[in-house]
Structure 1
């Protein structure tokens, strides 16, 4: 192979390796962490006590009682009804939609006492804290409780129902239990292993805005550059291999003699 081409391949491989090498390292570190971690532990499932059901003989009011109360508020359609446990009390979780200014439909949730059918408000701070303690499998004391009305794309509670209470426990692994105020239920448990996973996942997908878009242009570009780096390495091996060079040198004279 021409020496000029040999030098061009070597230089291309060197600079591509330098440019994408850091990202290759991050991909490798992320892959190691993902493959050696239990997703159940990452999601905090081991720190959630299972929800307790109610006896089938428990006397409950008809959901229609709550429907009538909603109708008086101007809401004439309900999409779903669920029976949930709020501090060992049966509560109806009524989901409905309201058309807001501009024509957009927004989903809302209304809680109602399942024994009487009367509507009730969202969880208070004390109630949300008690729900977190009831469902949290750890035994650590509570460090602080925060009330969230907004979150950004990098918050560990992003994309989940708001408002919510963040009940922060000291141990294990600085666990934070998120309870949705209007839904009356635990939404997620976040711990230090999850936060490491989330950071590595962002670096892995190269989505530095929302973290979950695996089709973003930056990832695609680095994937192509990574492929070119590998192919240039193969080309460099072919161009610089002494055995292959000797083979080519041996073949050429034989072809000349045949001619």
Structure 2
């Protein structure tokens, strides 16, 4: 009986040791990445100090706008919403449909052409508050990537600032939808380590994450069992019982 308990204790001790080595490395990454992400201000990660996306220009007074019914009739498809706003100094109506969003002239109700590269660059330049300027080349993005997973297609405007900031503007409505900076890339790298999705940095349900989470639970349970088996009072009680048994046999 004693030899069986000894073998179980030895097995539990060895299993706990190897779990501590394997799971401990990922625990270190979890703690390190979590501490870094908590340290970085989220508004700086989003690039709010470089790009003003919250500023809203008021519609000019005295301008006669096309009615929503006229915009709906010009759209020709069922719509979800109509939003009037200023865009590059002109009033527009942003119409959201099941197929996407489009811009209409808010005064005439006429469908506007898709934003051009020059217009997109002007949108990014107007919102820019940092150093540097936009590069001459503006890229049209048609595929999602680790850096950008928003609405597609979208324009990417790169600035010459020290942070290598990239501003993403939707190709249909001309809205700024994402800002990527060096701080964001650092945050996103550690975020991928934290959730153990090293490719896309967005999947919480990876087998690796589940496996190491269960491994951490097993590590805790194994430690609790070993702590119980090695508790000083229990050890002294077992030792006292063995001593009395030996005296009785004598």
**Is this a same-fold pair by TM over 0.5?**
yes
| 1:121-155 Cα deviation digits (max 9, x unpaired) | 11100000000011122131223421111224x2x
SS at match of 1:79: strand
Q: 2:72 aligns with which of 43, 67, 74?
A: 67
Q: CA contact under 8 A between 1:63 and 1:114: conserved in structure 2?
A: no
Aligned to 1:96: 97
Unpaired segments of 5 or more residues in structure 1?
98-106
CA distance in 2, matches of 1:133, 1:123: 15
Deviates more, 1:56-65 or 1:222-231: 56-65
Aligned to 1:207: 197
Deviates more, 1:235-244 or 1:15-24: 235-244
Q: CA contact under 8 A between 1:136 and 1:177: conserved in structure 2?
A: no
Q: Give the number of aligned pairs.
A: 242
CA RMSD of aligned residues (A): 2.5
Q: 1:13 aligns with which of 13, 16, 23?
A: 16
Q: CA contact under 8 A between 2:138 and 2:156: conserved in structure 1?
A: yes
Aligned to 1:33: 36
Q: 1:52 aligns with which of 39, 52, 57?
A: 57
CA distance in 1, matches of 2:165, 2:74: 38
| 1:196-243 Cα deviation digits (max 9, x unpaired) | 211211221123454333244332221111111122233334445666
Q: Give the TM-score, by structure 1 length.
A: 0.82
